Amino acid sequence: MRNLTRPRSRVFRTDWFNWRSSAIIDSVALIGGTALTSVLANAYELGPQLFQLGREHAEIDDIIFVGFVLIIGLMIYILRRYRDLVCEVKERTIAEREARELARHDSLTGLPNRRLFDEKLHACLSAVSDTRQVAVLMLGLDGFKRVKDRHGHLAADKALGEFANRVTGILREDGMLARIGEDEFGIIMSDIRSLDVPANLTSRIVASAAEAFAIEKVSAELGVGIGIAIAPSDGVNCDGLVRRAVRALCRARGDGRSCVRFFEPEMDTHVERRIHIERELRSAIAADIVEPHYQPLVSLKGERIIGFEALARWNNRTLGCIPPDVFIPIAEETGLIHALGDQLFRRACFDANAWPGTFTLAFNVSPIQLRDPTLGVRILAILGQTGFSPRRLEIEITESAFVENLEVAKTVIDELRQAGVRIALDDFGTGYATLSQLLSFRLDKIKIDRSFVSHLDDSADSRVIVRAILGLAQGFGLTTTAEGVEDAAQLAFLMANGCTEGQGYLFNKAIPAADIPALLSRMPYDSSVA
Ligand code: C2E
Ligand code: CA
Ligand code: CA
């Protein structure tokens, strides 16, 4: 890491030197001034005698001598002043250069910052052609936030520095690596003749980021997602090219850990649609249009309904039905999830008050909601306002919520559990949580992800995994719900292996609140299970 700050001792030396020079100059000027005054006074007094007598040659010599001394003094003064001026100009030039450097570099890594990156890109794009292409790569660290949350800012900064060093070591001499955002970097590669060049570079960067980062006596795992845009094919405008590389990075990040994606024109359309959805979602939340539908939770013993999971549904007048898999992530990214979550929960409690008194309401809480330490208080307040019992509520949380924000999640969950709310681990088996992390939370239920259940018929691996999860849950005294049960064979396997509850199209899809009475009239439900 480079230190771009100016050493203090040098500033002090310069100031002292300037002060000393000025003192000498002032003394010389003072002595010279005094001498000149006295000589002039003498000359004035002696003048008449000189003309009259023409004899005091000695005094004339004195005057000439003093004049000579004065001229020498003046010359010394001019020389010193000149030298001081040269020093001052030199110091100012250095200071200005250092200030310019600071304004163009990142103080943590010493890498060029966005400003220098843009300047370099402008310069490269002015010489771009079909045979001399320019590649802009946007790099986003995967797992950086987790490192920061777990090991603190200092460790995270060290990881950033280490990553910058690794990439600098891989980059070609003429390539530029810059730090663009907190955990985002940019690379410019000029004069490339084939797309293999950036592709090869990215695989080396991905491989190097995959090696553990040893920081503060701990080892941190990071990954890197990379988006690439190429000039001239993806544009020759600096901002446009960077925007497209960022869009490619967004796609890479959405596709998983350490993915690399080249920009494709379809990504522009995707982003525009996303912006449109976001705008519509804001109005839908303001108008309270997004509503919960309910999918039955079934006790496998006797196949009776014991509750419902609330699933968000949004029917937009121009866009049609937008699945929650699309709008929930947008709500999470924009922070709308907090208002939307509260709104849906209030409605769900209100609807659930009309169900048989023993029915459970299962409600999904996203990892982003769990970053908010006030979530528990808000949930309990809504329960109080709607009069729905906390003992009938089951909050579904995914593994990533635990990984991302252990401490806040723990506090919120503790608050809810103390009030009697049960906690279910959703999509079990798809996240990155370690078993010990999961065990540090007191859970009531595990929901086996649909991806395992749907392959019970054709994958021996899925059968082994499901059996293992069921065994684990039994060992810890947890209830289990199998998600996405679609056929009788899956149901038979799950029952034979001790799964307690099921959910899926075999029983029913999610339906509006108004359709629940009709469902209950044709499907058995258990009013003795709480
Ligand atoms: P999830 O919590 O895992 O919900 C189960 C999803 O599987 C639902 O999709 C449900 O309709 C679907 N499903 C249930 N049974 C079957 C089946 O037998 N076969 C198939 N193929 N699918 C089945 P949905 O409603 O599209 O929800 C998707 C995800 O969106 C949910 O996954 C949940 O993560 C999220 N989500 C839905 N509503 C909310 C909400 O109110 N808040 C939050 N934070 N997330 C929500
Ligand atoms: Ca769920
Ligand atoms: Ca699930």
pLDDT higher than threshold 50 for residue 83: yes
Q: How confident is the model at residue 483, as a pLDDT?
A: 97
Q: 217-245: per-residue pLDDT in tens?
A: 788 889 999 999 999 999 999 999 999 99
Pairing of strands 304-316, 360-365: parallel
β-partners of residue 179 are: 185
Contacts of 96 (CB under 8 A, 6+ apart): none
User: What is the distance in A from the centroid of ligand 1 to the CA of 364?
Assistant: 9
Closest residue CA from atom 8 of ligand 1: 311
Cis before 112? omega within 30: no
Closest residue CA from atom 43 of ligand 1: 364
- Taking the C-alpha atoms of residue 219 and residue 151, their distance in angstroms, rounded to an integer, is 10
pLDDT higher than threshold 60 for residue 390: yes
Q: How confident is the model at residue 1 (pLDDT cuts 50, 70, 90)?
A: very low
Q: Would you say domain 290-522 falls under CATH 3.20.20.450?
A: yes
pLDDT higher than threshold 60 for residue 476: yes
Verify whether ligand 1 is closer than 6 Å to residue 68 (CB atom).
Answer: no
pLDDT higher than threshold 80 for residue 50: no
Q: How confident is the model at residue 500, as a pLDDT?
A: 96
Q: Where are the alpha helices (DSSP H) in 335-482?
A: 337-352, 375-386, 399-404, 406-418, 435-440, 450-453, 460-475
User: What is the distance in A from the centroid of ligand 3 to the CA of 290?
Assistant: 20
Tokens 């030199």 sit on residue: 90
Q: How confident is the model at residue 216 (pLDDT cuts 50, 70, 90)?
A: confident
- Amino acid in position 169: G
Q: How confident is the model at residue 526, as a pLDDT?
A: 79
- Taking the C-alpha atoms of residue 336 and residue 372, their distance in angstroms, rounded to an integer, is 13
The answer to pTM > 0.75 is no
pLDDT higher than threshold 70 for residue 42: no
User: What is the distance in A from the centroid of ligand 3 to the CA of 426?
Assistant: 5
The fraction of the chain above a pLDDT of 90, given in percent, is 69
- Amino acid in position 230: I
Q: How many residues does the chain have?
A: 530
Q: How confident is the model at residue 181, as a pLDDT?
A: 94
User: What is the distance in A from the centroid of ligand 1 to the CA of 295?
Assistant: 9
Which of the ligands is closest to the CA of residue 397? 2
CA 82 to chain centre: 54
Of all atoms in ligand 1, which is nearest to the CA of residue 332?
44
> Does 235 or 151 have the greater pLDDT score?
235
Verify whether ligand 1 is closer than 6 Å to residue 348 (CB atom).
Answer: no
Determine the average pLDDT of the residues in 15-39.
55
Determine the average pLDDT of the residues in 15-41.
55
User: What is the distance in A from the centroid of ligand 3 to the CA of 482?
Assistant: 9
- Taking the C-alpha atoms of residue 162 and residue 466, their distance in angstroms, rounded to an integer, is 40
Helix (H, G, I), strand (E, B) or coil at 399: helix
Q: How confident is the model at residue 215 (pLDDT cuts 50, 70, 90)?
A: confident
Helix (H, G, I), strand (E, B) or coil at 487: coil
Asked whether the beta carbons of 394 and 422 are under 8 A apart, the reply is yes
Closest residue CA from atom 25 of ligand 1: 311
- Taking the C-alpha atoms of residue 293 and residue 313, their distance in angstroms, rounded to an integer, is 6
Report the range of poorest mean pLDDT among 154-158, 373-377, 415-419: 154-158
Q: How confident is the model at residue 10 (pLDDT cuts 50, 70, 90)?
A: very low
Q: How confident is the model at residue 102 (pLDDT cuts 50, 70, 90)?
A: confident
Asked whether the beta carbons of 444 and 424 are under 8 A apart, the reply is yes
- Taking the C-alpha atoms of residue 233 and residue 93, their distance in angstroms, rounded to an integer, is 41
Tokens (6 digits) for 495 = 């029952």
Pairing of strands 422-428, 393-398: parallel
pLDDT higher than threshold 70 for residue 29: no
Q: How confident is the model at residue 309, as a pLDDT?
A: 98
Determine the average pLDDT of the residues in 172-199.
93
> Does 13 or 149 have the greater pLDDT score?
149
pLDDT higher than threshold 70 for residue 389: yes
Tokens (6 digits) for 455 = 């392959």
Q: How confident is the model at residue 529 (pLDDT cuts 50, 70, 90)?
A: very low
CB atoms within 10 A of CB 288: 12
Average pLDDT of every residue of the chain: 88
For a pocket test of ligand 1, which of 289, 294, 311, 450 has the largest count of ligand atoms closer than 8 A to its C-beta?
311
Q: Which fold has domain 114-265?
A: Alpha-Beta Plaits (3.30.70)
DSSP, residue by residue, 509-523: --B-GGGHHHHHHHS
pLDDT higher than threshold 60 for residue 324: yes
Q: How confident is the model at residue 6 (pLDDT cuts 50, 70, 90)?
A: very low
**What are φ and ψ of residue 320, in 5° steps?**
80, -155
Q: How confident is the model at residue 11, as a pLDDT?
A: 40
Pairing of strands 218-220, 223-231: unpaired
Q: How confident is the model at residue 2, as a pLDDT?
A: 42
Of all atoms in ligand 1, which is nearest to the CA of residue 337?
44
Determine the average pLDDT of the residues in 148-171.
91
User: What is the distance in A from the centroid of ligand 2 to the CA of 67?
Assistant: 101
C-alpha distances in angstroms, 252 versus 48, 103, 404?
A: 100, 31, 20
CB atoms within 10 A of CB 489: 10
> Does 202 or 431 have the greater pLDDT score?
202
Determine the average pLDDT of the residues in 380-408.
90
β-partners of residue 137 are: 187, 228
Verify whether ligand 1 is closer than 6 Å to residue 427 (CB atom).
Answer: yes
- Taking the C-alpha atoms of residue 280 and residue 102, their distance in angstroms, rounded to an integer, is 43
Tokens (6 digits) for 141 = 């660290």
Which of the ligands is closest to the CA of residue 401? 1
Which of the ligands is closest to the CA of residue 503? 1
User: What is the distance in A from the centroid of ligand 2 to the CA of 440?
Assistant: 21
β-partners of residue 252 are: none
User: What is the distance in A from the centroid of ligand 1 to the CA of 310?
Assistant: 9
Verify whether ligand 1 is closer than 6 Å to residue 325 (CB atom).
Answer: yes
- Amino acid in position 294: Y
Closest residue CA from atom 41 of ligand 1: 312
Of all atoms in ligand 1, which is nearest to the CA of residue 447?
3
Which of the ligands is closest to the CA of residue 396? 2
Provide the residue ranges of all domains of the chain, joining segments of one domain with +: 5-102, 114-265, 290-522
Closest residue CA from atom 7 of ligand 1: 484
- To the nearest 10 degrees (0 to 180), the angle between helices 144-151 and 406-418 is 70
Q: How confident is the model at residue 66, as a pLDDT?
A: 85
Q: How confident is the model at residue 20 (pLDDT cuts 50, 70, 90)?
A: low
Q: How confident is the model at residue 8, as a pLDDT?
A: 39
For a pocket test of ligand 1, which of 364, 375, 399 has the largest count of ligand atoms closer than 8 A to its C-beta?
364
> Does 218 or 305 have the greater pLDDT score?
305
- Taking the C-alpha atoms of residue 358 and residue 394, their distance in angstroms, rounded to an integer, is 13
- Taking the C-alpha atoms of residue 214 and residue 218, their distance in angstroms, rounded to an integer, is 6
Verify whether ligand 1 is closer than 6 Å to residue 486 (CB atom).
Answer: yes
- Taking the C-alpha atoms of residue 128 and residue 112, their distance in angstroms, rounded to an integer, is 22
